[in-house]
Amino acid sequence: MVTAGDFKNGITFESEGNVLQVIEFQHVKPGKGAAFVRTKLKNVITGAVVEKTFSPTDKFENAIVDRKEMQYLYNDGDLYYFMDMESYEQIPIGANILQDNFKFVKENDMCKVVSYKGNVFAVEPPMFVELEVTDTDPGFAGNTATNTLKPATLETGAVIKVPLFIEKGEKLKIDTRTGEYLSRA
């Protein structure tokens, strides 16, 4: 059990059938009246963020969210298969659970599969990946010092903006959180 007076950033708890994570909290002691805790909470399953106030004595059940490192194997239609590297068990995950940044993941990459009570609700790809450019306009001599960008298709099919000097066949380091080109690999 956790009380609202013990909240810290990152704590997860159950409230009204939802699994919530504390993003921000503030203990408020007004001159008149009882103290309260003002919070910003994220529903870890839906991703919705809400602001709520609680009495410091309100009690909640702790929620244990599991993050398991698993290897992405392949996809078959709308199902994506991941393997537990310890038990070699394979689990299918629906495309509706995967976020937009999963387009940077290729087969055999390690991802974090996030679940609560055995129900998978998210897949976190690695923060940085190295991918090869499969198609882009050719670069020209002298295109090294400008901030102009061009589209490039990566080996996973994702399209990102890259500097003009990047050519087909080069390996790039990509930030999966923003989808931005970082450097040559």
Q: Where are the domains of the chain?
A: 2-62, 65-124, 128-184
Nearest in space to 67 (alpha carbons), one of 127, 123, 10, 13: 123
Which one-letter amino acid corresponds to residue 147? N
**Is 0.85 topped by the overall pTM?**
no
Q: Taking the CA atoms of the chain, what radius of gyration do you get in angstroms?
A: 22
pLDDT value of position 143: 56
* Mean pLDDT, residues 121-146 taken together: 79
Task: Report residue 142 as tokens.
Answer: 């002298």
Residue 104 three-state SS: helix
Local structure of residue 146 (DSSP, 8 states):
-
CB 37 within 8 A of CB 27: yes
List pLDDT tens digits, range 1-46.
888 888 888 788 888 888 888 888 898 888 888 889 999 998 887 7
What is the Cα–Cα distance from 124 to 116, expressed in whole angstroms? 14
Q: Could you give phi then psi for residue 6, rounded to 5 degrees?
A: -100, 5
What is the Cα–Cα distance from 163 to 183, expressed in whole angstroms? 10
Assess if CATH 2.40.50.140 describes domain 128-184: yes
CB 162 within 8 A of CB 133: yes
* CATH of region 2-62, choose from 2.30.30.30, 3.40.1400.10, 3.30.420.40, 1.10.3210.10: 2.30.30.30
Of 11-15, 66-70, 141-145, the poorest mean pLDDT is in 141-145
- Give the torsion sign (CA, 95, 98, 101, 107): negative
Q: Is the pLDDT of residue 100 over 70?
A: yes
65-124, what's its fold?
A: OB fold (Dihydrolipoamide Acetyltransferase, E2P) (2.40.50)
Residue partners of 25: CB distance under 8 A and separation at least 6 = 7, 8, 9, 37, 38, 39, 40
